[in-house]
A and B are shown apart, each in its own frame.
Chain A
Amino acid sequence: AQTVTQSQPEMSVQEAETVTLSCTYDTSESNYYLFWYKQPPSRQMILVIRQEAYKQQNATENRFSVNFQKAAKSFSLKISDSQLGDTAMYFCAFMNYGGATNKLIFGTGTLLAVQP
């Protein structure tokens, strides 16, 4: 069964600095999707970034980028120029490419605090 591991329960970063959140996953599949979701105190789940495993290029969305290492099964999220609004719980998630389900497998989350 696929699993997603986020080994950093909590992290802290100063405003304007860069922080990297770690995520590893376990799968025997070769094609799959990976996601980072953000959950601010409002509780709303918001997609930050998405990566398709067959694409070599790392996904980027403004200040957010990933380091996707397929052989190592690693999918870390880098946040540049951190802002107070980035304070949130961040979840890494995995989805198989094949099959009929739309099942996301989530990690346990990393609580990020951006300090002024």
Chain B
Amino acid sequence: NAGVTQTPKFQVLKTGQSMTLQCAQDMNHEYMSWYRQDPGMGLRLIHYSVGAGITDQGEVPNGYNVSRSTTEDFPLRLLSAAPSQTSVYFCASTLNRGETQYFGPGTRLLVL
């Protein structure tokens, strides 16, 4: 199993550009989440999904969209990038609530 994969590893954007961060898992997990990690702030939940077709907002959803058309994939879209979205983004998945969450390797995003 590849586990949780994320692409790209690193991206530079200009303010106002849009892009999609990809996340895929091959463990047949129902629950998937996107977090952002900023210095001194730990990880904060952006959006999450409890199954294909079902998504909801986390703590810091503004400026981001998600969809979940398949169990495997959970892309995160930045609609119009802002410097405040410079961060490291992690995707995570788990089979059941409260169980171990498996994290991807992260995407480092720099918005100029």
Contacts and interface: CB of A to CB of B under 8 A. Distances in A.
A104 B97 CA distance: 10
A104 B101 contact: yes
Contacts of A46: 103
A108 to B, nearest CB: 5
A104 B45 contact: yes
B105 A43 contact: yes
Interface stretch (A12-20, A67-75, A94-102): A94-102
Interface residues of A, number: 22
Nearest to B106: A43
A44 B105 contact: yes
Contacts of B106: 43-44
B53 interface: no
Contact of B42 (A44, A95, A107): A107
Interface string B58-94: 1100000000000000000000000000001010101
Nearest to A108: B42
A45 B45 CA distance: 15
Interface residues of B, number: 25
Contact of A45 (B40, B58, B90, B94): B90
Nearest to B32: A102
Contacts of A50: 100
B45 A103 contact: yes
A109 B103 contact: no
A45 B103 contact: yes
Nearest to A91: B42
A66 to B, nearest CB: 15
A86 interface: no
Interface of B: 31, 33, 35, 40-45, 48, 50, 56, 58-59, 88, 90, 92, 94, 97-98, 100-101, 103, 105-106
